[in-house]
Structures are given as C-alpha cells and as structure tokens.
C-alpha cells in the first residue's frame, strides 16, 4: 500500500442544546454548542469501509441531548467530562474523546427600576437577554434644512422560556406544524426607530437617555407580553416605545424566530418535560413590521439591513 492513514477523528460538531431547569416558576438556562470528536481503532472504516467499530455521529448527537436530560448541565466542564467518559468507557474501539463546548451566557431581563411595579412577578423569572452581543447603530441625514435621525440596535438576543403559544393558524395540505401551548420564544432583535426631531432650533432629544429607555421598554414589553405569536410580541414592543417615548414616531423590527425544538427522548426511555431543546439556526421564521405613531409617515426603509 502506497499510503497510510494518519491522525483521524470523527463525531457530530455543533450540537446546539438548550436546557431549561424549572425551579417553580423561576427558570434557569444552559445554552451550549457541543462538538464531539472521537478517535481509536478506526483504520478499517477508512481502508475498507467496514463500519464495525463506528458509533454513528448521529448517536453522539443523541447522547448529548439525552445526557442533558439524564445528568442536567451543571457546568460545561462537568457536562463534557460525563460525555467524554461515556464514549471512551462504553465503546471498546474508542480510545479518545474530545468534547469542545461553547457556552452562551444569558442575563435575566432587568426590571429593578421605577417601572418594576408594572411587571408581573413571574414574567421576570423566565425572560432572558443573551450576554454581550448587541450593536447600537444610528444614521443621520441633513439636507441643509431638515435633519432625519434614525437609531437602533441589532443582535440583541432575547428568550422567554414560557408564556408563548402558537396555535389556531391556517392548515393546508402541506402543514405539519403541531400547535404549541407552551413553547420557547427567542429572537435576535434588529430594530430602527425614527426621531421626530428635524430642526436645529427645536430642543434636541437626550440621545443617550433615549437609547437606554427605548431599549428598556423594548425588553420589558418582550418579557411582559404573554405571546400568541411573535407578530403580537413585535407589535407590543413597538407600541410600548411609541407610547413612552414622545421623541420617537416610528419603529421598525426585523425579528427572526429562533426556533427551539423539543428533542424526542422517548427512544432512550426518557421523558422530555419541556426541558431539552435543539436550538436550530436555519431556516428561521422572519417577522418584520413597522409601528407608527398615528398620523406619522413611514420613512424607515423596509429593508433596514444597510441602514
């Protein structure tokens, strides 16, 4: 033989697992991206195609989801140790397991301010904002007379681990979606809002305060809305801003529905009691709309991505 096999490894990469732990109505999230790489006596599969030593990558994926249920996710390290030990100890041909994990942190949506009395006690316990992602943006246009200021944000990722349903929709012969009465609602908010300030002489908004308050109202509306659709939540987020911020006349949102599918653990004899989810990255629903102050013009472009 003129060639020999060098280093090799295999497994399922980027298993997106979200584990919700329900401590009464206080929920805790662990959100991981888990990659499994196994190596050992794998000469035959490469040389001859014999799969006799090959634990399928599909099985390594299932193990990640089953372990999330069976052992929980205390920490990424603990979870990775369980997995690595399992693969090496349970499969004779596997001599080495490498588990790589990325963990995405989530903070609870803050409500400990003057408005907290408007927030139902249980809303804050299941509403989260992903750490360290958002970008604040603004666009200023001046034609010598009039100013137009459109500000906004992108990549603000939020999740409600309950208080979201989706049912009663149109069903045609291609519809397979099951109605949901308690689902995860998660989105990556991209939003732009247009200020009604247009003239140097008029009093200028306090831009920093306006941004902080607008973001706060957006997050609180997301957390507080008992959602029957992402469209309804979007409208609540926009109207809450228009109703609280007199300097803003128009808000537009582009909200990808970041689907979280319950993993079927029945084949492994485990019951998934709304705990272990597969966080899909694509395709995603994309819900977009503008909310206007009554009488205001719609000027934010439909496609805001270049703004």
Ligand X SMILES: O=c1[nH]c(=O)c2[nH]c(=O)[nH]c2[nH]1
Pick the catalytic residue: 126, 258, 259, 260? 259
Does 285 sit near ligand X (CB under 6 A)? yes
Q: How far is the CB of 121 from ligand X (least distance, A)?
A: 25
Q: Report the residue from 166, 195, 197, 222 that binds ligand X according to the rule CB under 6 A.
A: 166
Residue closer to ligand X, measured from CB, 3 or 175: 175
- Is 19 among the catalytic positions? no
- Is 27 among the catalytic positions? no
Q: How far is the CB of 124 from ligand X (least distance, A)?
A: 22
Q: How far is the CB of 290 from ligand X (least distance, A)?
A: 17
Residue closer to ligand X, measured from CB, 64 or 186: 186
Q: Report the residue from 81, 140, 177, 298 that binds ligand X according to the rule CB under 6 A.
A: 177
Pick the catalytic residue: 28, 57, 138, 244? 57
Q: Count the site residues for ligand X by CB under 6 A.
A: 7
SS (H, E, C) the chain: CCCCCCCCCECCCCEEEEEEEEECCEEEEEEEEEEEEEEECCHHHHHCCCCCCCCCHHHHHHHHHHHHHHCCCCCHHHHHHHHHHHHHHHCCCEEEEEEEEEECCEEECCCCCHHHHHCCCCHHHCEEEECCCCEEEEEEEECCCCEEEEEEEEEEEEEECCCECECCCCCCCCCCCCCECCCCEEEEEEEEEEECCCCCCCCCCCHHHHHHHHHHHHHHHHHHCCECCHHHHHHHHHHHHHHHCCCEEEEEEEEEECCEEECCCHHHCCCCCCCEEEECCCCCEEEEEEEECCCCCCCCCCCCCCC
Q: Which stretch binds ligand X (CB under 6 A): 2-10, 122-130, 224-232, 264-272?
A: 224-232
Q: Report the residue from 63, 188, 210, 229 that binds ligand X according to the rule CB under 6 A.
A: 229
- Is 12 among the catalytic positions? yes
Does 222 sit near ligand X (CB under 6 A)? no
User: Would you please indicate which residues are annotated as catalytic (active-site) residues?
Assistant: 12, 57, 259
Binding site for ligand X (CB under 6 A): 166, 177, 229-231, 257, 285
């Amino acid at each position: 033989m003129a060639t020999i096999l060098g280093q090799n490894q295999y497994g399922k990469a980027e298993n997106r697992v979200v584990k919700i732990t329900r401590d009464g109505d206080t929920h805790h999230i662990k959100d991981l991206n888990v990659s499994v790489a196994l190596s050992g006596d794998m000469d035959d599969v490469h040389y001859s195609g014999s799969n006799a030593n090959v634990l399928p990558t599909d099985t390594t994926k299932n193990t990640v989801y089953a372990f999330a249920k069976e052992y929980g996710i205390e920490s990424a390290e603990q979870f990775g140790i369980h997995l690595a030990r399992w693969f090496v100890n349970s499969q004779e041909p596997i001599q080495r397991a490498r588990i790589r994990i990325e963990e995405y942190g989530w903070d609870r949506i803050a409500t400990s301010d003057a408005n907290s009395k408007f927030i139902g006690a249980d809303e804050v316990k299941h509403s989260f904002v992903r750490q360290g992602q958002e970008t604040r943006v603004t666009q200023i246009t001046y034609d010598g007379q009039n100013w137009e200021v459109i500000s906004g944000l992108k990549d603000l990722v939020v999740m409600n681990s309950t208080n979201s349903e989706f049912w009663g929709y149109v069903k045609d012969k291609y519809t397979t979606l099951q109605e949901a009465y308690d689902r995860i609602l998660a989105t990556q908010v991209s939003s732009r809002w247009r200020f009604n300030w247009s003239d140097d002489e008029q009093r200028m908004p306090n831009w920093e305060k306006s941004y902080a308050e607008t973001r706060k109202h957006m997050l609180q509306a997301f957390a507080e809305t008992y959602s029957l659709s992402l469209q309804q939540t979007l409208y609540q987020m926009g109207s809450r801003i228009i109703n609280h911020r007199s300097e803003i006349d128009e808000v537009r949102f582009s909200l990808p529905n970041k689907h979280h599918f319950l993993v079927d653990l029945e084949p492994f004899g485990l019951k998934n009691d709304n705990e272990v989810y597969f966080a899909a990255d694509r395709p995603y629903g994309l819900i977009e709309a503008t909310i206007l102050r009554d009488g205001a013009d719609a000027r934010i472009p439909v496609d805001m991505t270049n703004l």
